[in-house]
Amino acid sequence: MTTDLGFAPSEDPFVVEHGGFYRRWLSMIDDLGELESVVAQLEGTTEDKWIPVWQAAGERHEAAGDRRDELGDHAGARQAYLQAKTYYAIARFPGEITPNKARVSADCARAYRKACLHLDPPLEVVGVACEGQSIKAHFRAPAAATPDNPAPAALIMCGADVFKEDRGWAGEMALIEGLASLVMDGPGTGENPFPWDPASVKAWIAAVDYLADRPEVDGNRIAAFGISRGGYSVMQLAGDYPDRVKAVVAIAGHPFGYRMTDAEMGAFIEARNTRSTFVFGEPAGPPSFPTWSRELEEQIFADWALSELGILDAITQPVLMINGKLDHLAPVGNIYFMLEHGPVTGREARIYPDAGHCAFKYYKEWAPASFEWIRQKLG
């Protein structure tokens, strides 16, 4: 990925820039020129103007993948299918909020399954049991992992509008470091049936238990990795299940316990309210994101902040936190807050001064380094 794009901490879907709307997918798209050309075709964000443009791009890549697969070029086919998956994922944004979004989400899942057909070791679609329900997730383990030689593992936690199909790269990086992995949708998204609320940490706890019960996994060496909302969830999980979760990597995340200044709060609310002006569903439908206020943010802090949940002191395992200093959705003060609390040693951070939410501009640096760090901490 090139780094000569402009930068803006924004949610404008008509501009391709670091820190902006397409930050979620930039690292997964091979040709940013193609992305910019597709964006230039957009005439609106409602599903009638949004889905066809992105779906057409996905279909082109999926057809190319089919041709390569027929020729036996499985590596080339996989890359084409992953491009198709990503364009379908953009079409689906922010989730399966309408029947049309659900249909293109199925396209996304289909393309991803095609991309995984020839993986070695294979990807296994599994069900994580939790309170009588099953959460579909993706499991992979190193070929050398056996009950006699179990591997350490990482739970890979997704966020609010990126699903498990978009985190396959994390499973690949885990494998490179000799780690098994379980990639699971966050509560309220994808194939996770539990609603997004503070009690939904039970779904992540069930995922850790699932990993620990796998015969090829060392249940005493399990870490968790999360991005954006997943960066929050990994911290919540660490505090709720410290005996089982041995190390955590949090890319962004909010709220941990940091209280924003008045200026930060104003910018934060403005950014979220700008996001709420875009409608990604039906043409006459409601905004796809809620309007924000100081009162709402203070209520969320009271309900969700690690400090308010009473779990802050339980987070004593090694922690690696990464973000951009210019994050407009998860203020970097959350990282400083965590560095100011907890044990004297064991907390590490990397803050990129010219990057925004999740520092995706530097994905090629922090992503592999995160899984190398996990391997080192798990031993």
DSSP letter string over 245-310? Answer: EEEEEEES-S-SSPPPPHHHHHHHHHHHHHHTT---SSTT---SS----HHHHHHHHHHH-HHHHT
Specify whether 251 is located in the same domain as 337: yes
Distance CA 68, CA 82 (A): 13
Specify whether 329 is located in the same domain as 360: yes
Distance CA 364, CA 44 (A): 31
Pair of tokens at residue 223: 């870490």
Q: Quick check: is 167 in a domain?
A: yes
Would you give the end-to-end CA distance of the chain in angstroms? 32
Determine the longest span between alpha carbons in the chain, in angstroms.
60
Using the 8-state DSSP alphabet, how is residue 64 labeled? H
Q: What is the CATH number of the domain that holds 34?
A: 1.20.1440
Domains of the chain: total: 2
Specify whether 185 is located in the same domain as 56: no
Q: Which domain holds residue 356?
A: 124-257+305-378
Specify whether 206 is located in the same domain as 83: no
* Single-letter amino acid, residue 208: V
pLDDT along the chain (379 residues), means of 10: 73 95 96 97 98 98 98 98 98 96 97 97 97 98 97 96 95 98 96 96 98 98 97 98 98 97 93 94 94 97 98 98 95 97 96 96 97 97
Specify whether 157 is located in the same domain as 194: yes
- Global pTM exceeds 0.75: yes
Specify whether 184 is located in the same domain as 154: yes
Q: Quick check: is 49 in a domain?
A: yes
Q: Quick check: is 356 in a domain?
A: yes
Q: Which helix (H) or strand (E) holds 324?
A: strand 319-324
Q: Quick check: is 300 in a domain?
A: no
Specify whether 228 is located in the same domain as 365: yes
Pair of tokens at residue 272: 């979220």
Specify whether 111 is located in the same domain as 145: no
Specify whether 75 is located in the same domain as 185: no
**Pick from 81, 115, 149: which residue ends a domain?**
115
pLDDT of residue 4: 74
Instruction: Note the helical H segments in the chain.
Output: 32-40, 47-70, 74-92, 99-115, 168-176, 201-213, 229-240, 262-275, 294-304, 306-309, 333-339, 363-378
Map residue 95 onto helix, strand or coil.
Answer: coil
Q: Quick check: is 65 in a domain?
A: yes
**Pick from 115, 145, 168: which residue ends a domain?**
115
Distance CA 249, CA 374 (A): 8
Cis amide leading into 121 (omega within 30): yes
**Pick from 115, 142, 166: which residue ends a domain?**
115
Q: Quick check: is 251 in a domain?
A: yes
CB 257 within 8 A of CB 337: yes
Q: Quick check: is 154 in a domain?
A: yes
Q: Quick check: is 273 in a domain?
A: no
Residue with tokens 């020729």: 71
Nearest CA among 219, 191, 198, 170 for reference residue 372: 170
Specify whether 157 is located in the same domain as 111: no
Q: What is the CATH number of the domain that holds 372?
A: 3.40.50.1820
Specify whether 183 is located in the same domain as 315: yes
What tens digit of pLDDT does each residue of 107-166 get?
999 999 999 999 999 999 999 999 999 999 999 999 999 999 999 999 999 989 899 999
> Residues near 321 by Cβ (< 8 Å), separated by ≥ 6?
231, 249, 250, 251, 253, 335, 338, 339, 347, 348, 349, 350
pLDDT of residue 37: 98
Specify whether 225 is located in the same domain as 374: yes
